[in-house]
Amino acid sequence: MRGANSAKWVAGAIVIALAATACGGSDDDSSSSGKGAGKAGGTFRLGITEPVAIDPYNSQESEGILVTDNLFTGLYEPTADGKVIPALATSKEVSADGKTWTFKIKPGTKFSNGEAVDAESFIRGWNRVAQKTAASDVAYHLAGIAGFDDVQAGKATTMSGLSAPDANTLQVKLSAPDFEFYVKTTHTVFSPVPKVAGDAKNKTYNEAPIGNGPFKMQGSWQHNKSITLVRNDSYGLTKAKLDEVKIEILNSNNGVTLEYQGFEAGTFDWARMPTPQLPAAKAKYDAQGEWIDENTNGMNYLLPITDNGPLKDKKAREAISYAIDRDAIIKGVFQGMQTKSTTILPPAFTSVYQKDLCQSCIKSDPAKAKQLAKEAGLTPGTTIELGYNTGAGHEEWIQAVKQQVEKVLGVKVKATGKPFAELLADQQKPGATGMYRFAWGADYPTPDNFLYPLLDTASINKDASGKVTGDNRGRYSNPAFDALLAKARATEAEAGRNDLYKQAEKLAMDDMALIPLWNRTQLRLANTKKFADIKMDFHEDPNLAEISLK
Amino acid sequence: MGRYVVRRLGQLVVVVLGATMILFACLFVLPGDPVGQIAGSDKARDPAVIAQLHKQYGLDDPLIVQYGNYVGKLVQGDLGEDYTQSRPVSEILGPKLANTAKLATAAIVLDIIIGISVGVLAAMRRYSIWDVSATFVTTLAIGVPSIVLGMIMQRVFVIELGWFPLIADDSFNSIVLPAVTLAIIDAALVAQLARSTMLEVLGADYVKTAVAKGLPRRTVLTRHILRNSVIPVITYLGISFGGLLGGAIITETIFNWNGIGLALIQAIQQNNNPVIVGVVTISVAVFVVLNLVVDLLYAALDPRIRLA
The pLDDT tens digits for A247-289 are 999 887 778 888 999 999 999 999 998 877 888 899 999 999 9
Interface test with B, best of A251, A449, A460 (most B CBs within 10 A): A251
Residues composing chain B: 308
* Chain segment B237-283, per-residue pLDDT in tens: 888 888 888 778 889 988 888 899 988 888 887 778 888 888 888 88
The residue of chain A with its CA nearest to that of B148 is: A17
Do A59 and A72 contact (CB within 8 A), yes or no?
no
Which residue in the set B43, B250, B258 is minimally distant from A471, CB to CB? B43
| pLDDT score for A282 | 92
DSSP secondary structure letter of residue A140: G
Residue A225 within any structural domain of the chain: no
SS3 A197: helix
B19 compared with A28, residue with greater pLDDT: B19
Closest CA to B238 of B164, B279, B182, B290: B290
Residue A452 within any structural domain of the chain: yes
Q: Do B44 and A428 touch (CB under 8 A)?
A: yes
Q: Is A38 on the interface with B (CB under 8 A)?
A: no
Q: DSSP class of residue A37?
A: P
Q: Is the CB of residue A234 less than 8 Å from the CB of residue A34?
A: no
Residue type, position A322, single letter: Y
Q: CB of A60 within 8 Å of any CB in chain B?
A: yes
**CB < 8 Å to B243, chain A:** none
A417: in domain: yes
Inter-chain CB pairs, A–B, below 8 Å? 138
Give the Cα separation of B210 and A132 in Å (integer). Answer: 80
In this structure, is residue A454 part of a structural domain? yes
Q: How confident is the model at residue B62 (pLDDT cuts 50, 70, 90)?
A: confident
- The answer on pLDDT for B180 being more than 50 is yes
Mutate: best of B22, B27, B46, B82, partner A, most A CBs <10 A: B46
pLDDT per residue over A328-346, tens digit each? 999 988 888 889 999 999 9
Question: Among A127, A112, A519, which Cα is nearest to A295's?
Answer: A519
Is residue A268 a part of any domain in this protein? no
Q: Do B162 and A265 touch (CB under 8 A)?
A: yes
Q: Coil, strand, or helix at residue A517? A: strand
Residue A163 in any domain: the answer is no
Residue A131 lies in a domain: no
Identify the H or E element spanning A520.
strand A515-526
Domain of residue A461 covers 295-522
| Cβ under 8 Å to B: A residues 195-224 | 223-224
Dihedrals phi, psi of B11, to nearest 5 degrees:
-60, -35
If one counts the domains in chain A, the total is 1
Residue B41 has pLDDT above 60, yes or no: no
Of B158, B249, B262, the CB nearest to A265: B158
Residue B28 with chain A: CB contacts under 8 Å: none
Of A53-67, A289-303, B13-27, B172-186, which gets the smallest average pLDDT?
A: B13-27
Query: How far, in Å, are A305, A311, A413, A457, B161 from residue A430 at the CA level?
Result: 11, 15, 20, 16, 58
Question: Of B205, B159, B40, which Cα lies nearest the Cα of A6?
Answer: B40
Amino acid at A518: W
The residues, ordered by sequence, that sit 6+ positions from B56 with a Cβ below 8 Å of its Cβ are A135
Q: What is the pLDDT of residue A360?
A: 96
- Among the partner-chain residues A1, A253, A264, the one whose CB lies closest to the CB of B253 is A253
Which of B30, B96, B167 should be substituted to probe chain A, the one whose Cβ sees the most A Cβ atoms within 10 Å?
B167
- Asked if residue A112 belongs to a domain, the reply is no
Closest CA to A165 of A124, A104, A88: A104
Task: Please give the ipTM for the structure prediction.
Answer: 0.72
CATH of the domain at A431: 3.10.105.10
Q: Which chain B residues touch A152 with a CB distance below 8 Å?
A: 48
Strands A162-166 and A169-173: antiparallel
What is the distance, to the nearest Å, from the Cα of residue A76 to the centroid of all Cα atoms in its chain? 17
CA dist list (Å): A243 to A98, A220, A534, B85: 43, 17, 15, 29
C-alpha to C-alpha distance for A461 and B47, rounded to whole angstroms? 13
**Alpha-carbon torsion (A85, A89, A95, A99), positive or negative:** negative
- Three-state SS string over chain B comes to CHHHHHHHHHHHHHHHHHHHHHHHHHHHHCCCCHHHHHCCCCCCCCHHHHHHHHHHCCCCCCHHHHHHHHHHHHCCCCCCECCCCCCEHHHHHHHHHHHHHHHHHHHHHHHHHHHHHHHHHHHHCCCCHHHHHHHHHHHHHHHCCHHHHHHHHHHHHHHHCCCCCCCCCCCCHHHHHHHHHHHHHHHHHHHHHHHHHHHHHHCCHHHHHHHHCCCCHHHHHHHHHHHHHHHHHHHHHHHHHHHHHCCCHHHHHHCCCCCHHHHHHHHHHCCCHHHHHHHHHHHHHHHHHHHHHHHHHHHHHCCCCCCC
The SS3 assignment for A227 reads: strand
Q: Is A250 on the interface with B (CB under 8 A)?
A: yes
Which phi and psi (to 5°) does residue A128 adopt? -60, -40
Which residues, other chains included, contact B99 with Cβ-Cβ below 8 Å and sequence gap of 6+?
B257, B258, B259, B260
Interface touch B269/A135, C-beta < 8 Å: no
Q: Which residue of A has its CA nearest to B252?
A: A251
Which phi and psi angles does A143 have, rounded to 5°? Answer: -60, -25
Residue contact B266–A251, C-beta within 8 A: yes
Residues from chain B that touch A151, judged by Cβ atoms under 8 A, are: none
Q: Give the CA angle between residues B73, B77, B79 to the nearest 5°.
A: 60
> Biggest alpha carbon distance in chain A?
71
CA–CA distance, A302 with A514 (Å, rounded to integer): 6
- Average model confidence (pLDDT) for chain B? 84
Please state, in angstroms and as integers, the Cα–Cα distance from residue B6 to each residue in A538, B14, B17, B298, B307, following that order.
62, 13, 17, 17, 12
Q: What mean pLDDT, rounded, does chain A reach?
A: 89
Q: Chain B: residue nearest A427 by CA?
A: B44
CA quadruple B115, B118, B123, B128: dihedral, nearest 10: -150
* B-chain residues near A140 (CB < 8 A): 46
pLDDT (tens digit, 9 = 90+) per residue, B64-117?
A: 888 888 888 888 888 888 877 778 888 889 989 999 999 999 999 999 999 999
Provide the residue count of chain A: 550
Candidates B24, B38, B42, B152, partner chain A, best to mutate (most A CBs within 10 A): B42
- Interface with B, mutate which of A189, A202, A204, A224 (most B CBs under 10 A): A224
| A378 confidence band (pLDDT: 50, 70, 90) | very high
How close does chain B come to A250, measured CA to CA in Å? 6
More reliable by pLDDT, A488 or B83: A488
**pLDDT score of B48:** 67
Q: Distance, in angstroms, between A182 CA and closest chain B CA?
A: 22
For residue B161, the Cα-to-chain-centroid distance in whole angstroms is 30
| pLDDT tens-place string over residues A188-223 | 999 999 999 999 989 999 999 999 999 999 999 998
CA nearest neighbour of A50 among B96, B30, B280: B96
- Report d(CA B210, CA A216) in Å as an integer: 74
* Contact at CB, A3 and B53, closer than 8 angstroms: no
Helix B173-202 vs helix B146-153: crossing angle, to nearest 10: 140
Helices assigned H by DSSP within A273-347: 278-285, 314-323, 326-332
Tell me the angle at which helices B173-202 and B89-110 cross, rounded to the nearest 10 degrees: 50
Note whether B158 contacts A261, CB cutoff 8 Å.
Answer: yes
Nearest-angstrom CA–CA distance, A182 and A112: 25
